[in-house]
Amino acid sequence: MARISTYIIDTAVTLSDKWIGTDSSGGATKNFTAKSIADLFNEKGSVGIVNQSNFLFQTDLSGGRKPGTISFTAGGGSTTSFSALTTIKISKYASSTNLILNYLETLVSKPIMLAQLDDLNNFGVYKLYSLTQDVTETDFYNANFTLIESNGSLLSEKTYGIVAYPAAAVDQGDKNFVFTQAVASNTWVIQHNLNKFPSVTSVNINDFEVYGEVVFNNINSLTINFSAAFSGKAFIN
């Protein structure tokens, strides 16, 4: 075998190229592809990127929910469209096993991006409006958000990065929401997710304004109580 220094340098490295090395488990000599090393770095977050934390999307919960993962409460969910995503459970540890709870808490009320690291065409941009500790699995937090824009779907066992999204890239105009009460009722419960205490105007199906008692449940939800049941719309601004 010639000296390693005499081999030519490959100037066209591909993901299928290989290195020879030693497996830390057992000390066996093995080949490692460029792709397998890149996948490892992505999964474990070994290459630091400011403001980004990586998580494996776990769908099989038969062995328990794992640190460093994102998942749905009941598991499963592979091929769920990013546009349909409103809540997900996040480990307080990133895939690197580093505790990142303090960082995650800084993202609340801000735009975030959730993107597949080996295919950035699979992504969702959201407004993260709450992050609350799970009462039974205390190492996990329930993230709730509203969609800004997206493309593609979540795929099982893929690694995703969560990163703060530039607020300047999101339309910062006045936030509003139109609620439709299709079935006549004297109590309308409205989840608007505007992250504020808005003004409220309600109308019946003939577009005549109707006055009711507005109760702000929190900054993202309100209830309107009317003296009689009717259907119509509420303009939340």
Q: How does DSSP assign 25-67, residue by residue? A: TT--EEEEEHHHHHHHHHHHT-S--TTEEEEEE----TT-PPT
Residue 107 Cα distances to 50, 69, 79, 219, 233, angstroms: 13, 18, 25, 17, 32
Alpha-carbon distance 210 to 230, whole Å?
10
Domains of the chain listed by start with CATH number = 39-169 (2.40.30), 177-236 (no CATH)
Q: What is the pLDDT along the chain (237 residues), one digit of tens a residue?
A: 567 767 777 777 787 878 777 887 777 888 878 776 666 665 555 554 544 688 999 999 999 999 999 999 999 999 999 999 999 999 999 865 778 889 899 999 889 999 998 888 999 999 998 999 999 999 999 999 989 889 999 999 999 999 888 865 555 556 788 899 999 999 999 998 888 889 999 999 988 999 999 999 998 899 999 999 999 999 998
Instruction: Report the predicted TM-score, pTM, of the whole model to 2 decimal places.
Output: 0.58
For 180-210, letters b (16+ CB in 10 Å) and e give ebeeeeeebebebbbbeebebebeeeeeeee
Q: Are 160 and 134 in contact (CB under 8 A)?
A: no
